[in-house]
Structure 1
Amino acid sequence: MTRPARRTLSIAGASAAALLVLSACSSSSDSSGPAGTSDGSGRSSASSPKVSGTVTVFAAASLKESFTALGQAFEKQHPGTEVSFNFGGSDSLAASITGGAPADVFAAASPKTMKIVSDAQDTAAAPTTFVRNQLEIATLPGSPGKVASLKDLTKSGLKVVLCDKTVPCGAAAQKALDASGLTLTPVSYEQDVKSALTKVELKEADAAVVYKTDVKAAGDKVQGVEFPESAKAVNDYPIALLKDAPNATAARAFIDLVKSAEGQKVLTEAGFLKP
């Protein structure tokens, strides 16, 4: 073989080796690249189902602000998707799901209300707890009724609102009252925590027992009063993919976001407790 020929083969061999190295590097970066290129199990996006279309989420009213923010983040991460929410009392949402309402994800404010759905075999997998929430008393700024404790809610002439006992926030409030040996007759029972809080914001009530997250979300419209008995009535929030989810792929991706570090940051900043 002539010297020029040997040189040509040498260059070709070096080029092939370089291409192999670049290919290996590219393959490695693909499996650990930007968000969305890996599903956390080592599989690249090339093998992951494409997330598209609308994902319908039924969620407890107390999740409204944080889930709305997460929905916007989800749509940004997955262009062309849309997150449609139905917020309300967990018991009403559970009844709608077991009644056949089309939904992909259910996030409840208590295991008891989630159990309604799982007992009806309407969940595709076992629900998992993603956050917890604690009660707080909401009053008007300056606490005109001089509410400083749970016992103060029993004062004569004080207009107090509670969530209905079938709603998680109402069941938790009743549990706290029972633990304290207190009896309270509210001026009204509301079907979800936001409705109870609104009564105070509109000055139709002096106080309401709601979640810390709702007091925080209301900003300067209300004043929060913590009470030690709330520690005995902390609610776990479970989330689950529904069995007949019209968009199971997007539903799983949304649940992953909720449980991710990014999702947990949004939720804890809203006042939720880690599970």
Structure 2
Amino acid sequence: MRTRTVRRRALHAAGSCIAVMLLAGGCSSSGTAASGSAASGSASAASSTASAVTGTVAVFAAASLQESFLQIGRQFEAARPGTKVVFNFAGSNSLAAGIVGEAPADVFAAAGPATMKTVTDKGEAAGTPKIFVRNQLETATAPGNPQHVAGLQDLTRPGLKVVLCAREVPCGAASQTVLNAANIQLTPVSYEQDVKAALTKVELQEADASLVYRTDVKAAAGKVDGVNFPEASSAVNDYPITPLTHAPNAAGARSFVAYVESPDGQKVLTDAGFLPAT
């Protein structure tokens, strides 16, 4: 255990962003990845203990949380001067593999309980993960829906190019659940590593349609259109979050999780289209 802790600290000191990029392909800072000031409500989330939280907080989060968490990160930093939030957004399964492989991370937010279980089974979660939001699928099409996709059955039309998330990631598992519920057999032109990659195929007109989260359609407004379908209610994903057992910044991890669960954090998420946890 001592060897493991020393190794984690050494990795973190060398730069958590570099390690994250090697393990899962990308790093973002809440202060530079998007423009805009912190929301006015962030000040209300600060408490007398918040000032004691400093340093970098490394957050591994599902790709579908990217826009919301970047905003939450900016608000968190504004409410807690001296902190900096660094994000790694990717498919939940890749993030979980990185965490159990000793990547230096403080917080894990997954798009489904199954991938969180990978982390908890290895004793990497500090406490019991909490469900903080929910999400469900929607069909993304090119603007104007030129292929006139109205429901899931339309995705099986000959010549229609459909992409899905890989089955091992939560959006892929949810897609398979709704397709099974509708008794639909669908062979996509590709399986993508996370929901953002699947959405990008439609944005670039390399695919006619994709099953993604409703929050991703909303975040890409103007670049894609969304088509609701009733079967989506059969696969609503719970999103769990937890500080990590070997977090280099344990106090920062607990504080960030608390902020996500606070009214300020929840407002950002519901405004983005996420469903409340309860």
TM-score normalised by the chain length of structure 1:
0.84
Whether the aligned pair in 2 keeps the contact of 1:61 and 1:194 (CA below 8 Å) is yes
Residue 179 of structure 1: how far off its partner (Å): 0.5
Deviations 1:93-120 (A, max 9, x none): 0000001101000000000000000001
Could you say which structure has the larger radius of gyration? Answer: 1
Change (3 A) 1:70 1:158: same
2:14 is aligned to none
Query: What secondary structure does 1:146 align onto?
Result: coil
| Separation in 2, partners of 1:74, 1:217 | 21
In structure 1, how many angstroms separate the alpha carbons of the residues matched to 2:183 and 2:204? Answer: 30
How big is each residue's C-alpha offset from its partner over 1:117-147, in whole Å with a ceiling of 9 and x where there is no partner?
A: 0001111111000000010000001111110
Q: Of the candidates 187, 207, 210, which is equivalent to residue 208 of structure 1?
A: 210
1:37 aligned to 2:39? no
Q: Give the direction of change, closer, same or farther, for the CA distance of 1:76–1:189 in structure 2 (3 Å limit).
A: same
Unaligned runs of 5+ in 1: 1-32, 39-44
Match of 2:261 in 1: 259
Equivalent position to 1:243, from 237, 245, 248: 245
**In structure 2, what is the Cα distance between the partners aligned to 1:34 and 1:72?**
14
How many Å separate the matches in 2 of 1:102 and 1:78? Answer: 22
- Residue 274 (structure 1) aligns with: 276
Residue 66 of structure 1 is matched in structure 2 by: 68
Corresponding residue for residue 26 of structure 1:
none
What pairs with 1:1-275 in structure 2 (closer than 5 Å)?
35-38=45-48, 45=49, 50-275=52-277
Check the 8 A contact 2:165/2:171 in 1, yes or no.
yes
AA aligned opposite 1:36: A
**Letter in structure 2 aligned against 1:98:** V
Percent of aligned pairs with the same amino acid: 63
RMSD over aligned Cα, in angstroms? 1.2
Match of residue 25 from structure 2: none
Choose 101-110 or 140-149, whichever is displaced more.
Answer: 140-149
SS of structure 2 residue aligned to 1:219: coil
Structure 2: stretches of 5+ with no match in the other structure: 1-42
Q: Contact 1:59 / 1:106 at 8 angstroms: preserved in 2?
A: yes
Q: Report the CA distance shift for 1:269/1:247 in structure 2 as closer, same or farther (over 3 A).
A: same
Q: Kindly state the Cα deviation for residue 80 of structure 1 after the two structures are TM-superposed.
A: 1.5
Q: Distance in 2 between matches of 1:261 and 1:273?
A: 14
Paired residues in the alignment total 235
The answer to whether the 8 Å contact 1:160/1:205 transfers is yes
Please report how far the alpha carbon of residue 79 of structure 1 lies from its aligned counterpart in structure 2 after TM superposition: 1.1
Does the residue aligned with 1:147 lie in a helix, a strand or coil? coil
What TM-score, normalized to structure 2? 0.83
Cα contact 2:139–2:226 (8 A) shared by 1: yes
Distance in 1 between residues matched to 2:204 and 2:160, nearest whole Å? 15
Distance in 2 separating the partners of 1:173 and 1:35: 36
For the 8 Å contact 1:133–1:272, the answer to whether it is kept is yes
